[in-house]
Amino acid sequence: MAYDESKVINGTHGYLWLDGDLIQEVQSVKATITPKTETVSQSGEMVDGTKVTGLECKGELKTNKINSRWIKLMSDSLKAGKQRSFTIISKLADPSNGGTERVKLTGCVFTELPLIDWELKKLAEESLNFNFKNWEVLDSIE
C-alpha cells in the first residue's frame, strides 16, 4: 500500500465527551499507558531483561476557558475529601481519511484543579492532568 499524505489525520475533527457531555472547548487531549517494569538479571547474560509488573495510565486535557466548568465539577467533592471519577470518550474522524477512532477511558480522576490561571492579552486556557483505570477502543482506523 502506497503512503497517501491526504490520509494523515487532522485533529480539527476531534471531539471529546466527559460523562456524556460534549466538551466543545477542548483544544487537545492525550492519554498514555506506561508499563511499570522491573529488571530481571540472568546468569551468563550481559544484558538484563525486563518484566512488566503494572501499568501507569495518565492523561492531559487542555481547553479554552469559557466558563467555570472544572471548578463546579470538582470543588465540592475535593473539599469534602471525596474522589470523583469520570468517563472520557475521544473521537477522531478526519473526512479526508474516511475512518473514525474512538477510545473510552473509565475511572478518570483529575489530579489537579486549576483555580486561577490567566494573563493579560492572552486567551485563557485550562490544563488538567488525570489518571485513568481502564480503556476500551470503540472504533479504530484501518
Residue 107 has a CB neighbour count (10 Å cut-off) of 14
Q: Does 1.10.3470 match the CATH number of domain 5-31+61-139? A: no
Looking at every residue in the chain, the average pLDDT score rounds to 95
Q: Is the pLDDT of residue 7 over 90?
A: no
Contact in structure between 105 and 132 (CB atoms under 8 Å): yes
Domain boundaries defined on the chain = 5-31+61-139
Q: Is the pLDDT of residue 1 over 80?
A: no
Q: Whose CA is closest to 126, among 71, 62, 68, 74? A: 62
- 12-62: pLDDT as tens digits: 999 999 999 999 999 999 999 999 999 999 999 999 999 999 999 999 999
For residue 96, the model assigns a pLDDT of: 85
CA atoms within 13 A on the CB side of 126: 19
Q: What are the grid coordinates assigned to 11, written together?
A: 485533529
